[in-house]
Amino acid sequence: MKKDALTVKELAAELRMSPKSIQRAYRKEEIPVHWLGRMARFNLAEVRRAMKRNGQSRMRRLNGNRRSGGATAGASRRRAPKSPRSVKRGRNFQGSSRRSS
C-alpha cells in the first residue's frame, strides 16, 4: 500500500532525485507541498502532475534556450576583481633609504 503523504527523502527516492533538488523545487513552488506543522509532506500524484506541467519550461531552461538579459553562471553575485595595491610593500620594495652604499 502506497503512502499518501511522503517525506522529502521518500519523495526523492521515489523520483530518483536528491533531497536537495526536492527542497529547491518546493521552495521555488515548482511542486506542491502540504505542511503539517513544520514537516513538509508531498502527494506523489500531485507532484508528478506538476512536474509534467512544468517539464517543458524547465527543459528549455536547462538546455540554454533562456531569455537573454540575466547574468549567466552567477556573474551578478561575483565580486569585482581587486585592483593592485598602489603602495608596494615588503622587504624587496623598501627603496634605497634602508640600503647602505
Q: Which domain holds residue 13?
A: 8-63
Distance of alpha carbon 35 from alpha carbon 52, whole angstroms: 22
Inside any domain, residue 45: yes
Inside any domain, residue 85: no
Placement of cell 533562456 in the chain? 66
Inside any domain, residue 48: yes
Q: What is the count of structural domains for the chain?
A: 1
Distance of alpha carbon 65 from alpha carbon 62, whole angstroms: 8
Inside any domain, residue 77: no
Q: In the prediction, which pLDDT does 8 show?
A: 95
Q: Average pLDDT of each block of 10 consecutive residues along the chain (101 residues)?
A: 84 92 92 94 93 69 53 62 67 60 54
Q: In the prediction, which pLDDT does 7 show?
A: 95
Inside any domain, residue 68: no
Inside any domain, residue 89: no
Q: In the prediction, which pLDDT does 3 show?
A: 76
